[in-house]
A = this chain, B = another copy of it.
Amino acid sequence: MNLNEQIAALRERVRQQRPLLHHITNFVVMNDTANVTLHIGGLPVMAHSREEVAEMVAAAGALVLNPGTLSPEWVESMLVAGKRANELGIPIVLDPVGAGATTLRTTSNRRLLEELQIAIVRGNSGEIGALAGMGGVVKGVEAVVEADDPVAAAQELARRYGVVAAVTGRRDIVTDGKRVMMVDNGHEWLKTLTGTGCSATTVVAAFAAVEQDYVLATAAALACFGLAAELAAPQARGPASFKVAFYDAIYHLSTDQIRAGAKVTEAQM
């Protein structure tokens, strides 16, 4: 089975298994990521209360931690949920929104990486650079200066914390520190909408829930996400009509479309 066949098979597996994705995420994107979860084929639940997160995560196929509108109490809940996920072998996907922008964001994300066994981290070049200590400037939640060398930053982060690290941008990079996969799907319209990074993370979590090769799962998810954007773009008259077409495309994304359109390469390092 070639790579695009494998990606298409994973997308179908999400549809068939309908994994529950437990999100502890930011207020801005909750509605969007719940919808993206449904459209890709999973079941969403948003639950942040310390009193229930350990019980909720036990039913999940993956746990998404996204401290985009963090407070210390929510970070504590993320730790409670994450520790239980680790006990149960449920993969955790971290979206370090705004790491590098404030001390609270940088230290909270580092703490999650240190105290939990995170499976996958997906961020922009500035966030991953900031966490790896290898350049990148984050203003708010946007990378205004890229990491010096995104591949090296991702590899450093991957090795330091034993995670799969993904840097998304014009070209997405996915690595466990050794293997490196590149994804060349995507579209410029994605940058005109809030929360597209967060939504990409949700799709990564859906794939990680059904495939334990997290490098492959992450690259496959990012290819599907980017390909849906490409397929939607011709219907866009602006960012909002793009969003409608994009969500419709995620929902319909088919084996034939993935076979023809996914652009993933494994780098020879």
Which stretch in A1-9, A83-91, A97-105, A176-184 binds the other chain?
A: A97-105
A123 CB to nearest chain B CB (Å): 15
Asked if B98 and A45 make an inter-chain contact with CB atoms under 8 angstroms apart, the answer reads yes
Indicate if A32 sits at the interface (CB-CB under 8 A): yes
Contact partners of A38 in chain B: CB under 8 A: 192-194, 239
**From A98, which residue of chain B is reached at the shortest CB distance?**
B45
**A55-B103, A56-B140 known; A192+B251 contact, CB < 8 A:** yes
Look across to chain B and name the residue whose beta carbon is closest to the beta carbon of A35: B194
**A71 vs B237: C-alpha distance when bound (angstroms):** 39
A112 within 8 A of B: no
Q: Which residues of B contact A68 (CB under 8 A)?
A: 46
Say yes or no: A48-B28 contact (C-beta < 8 A), given A59-B139, A139-B20. no
Who on chain B is nearest to A28 by CB?
B30
Instruction: Say yes or no: A43-B139 contact (C-beta < 8 A), given A27-B30, A71-B48, A195-B31.
Output: yes
Evaluate contact between B45 and A140: CB separation under 8 angstroms: yes
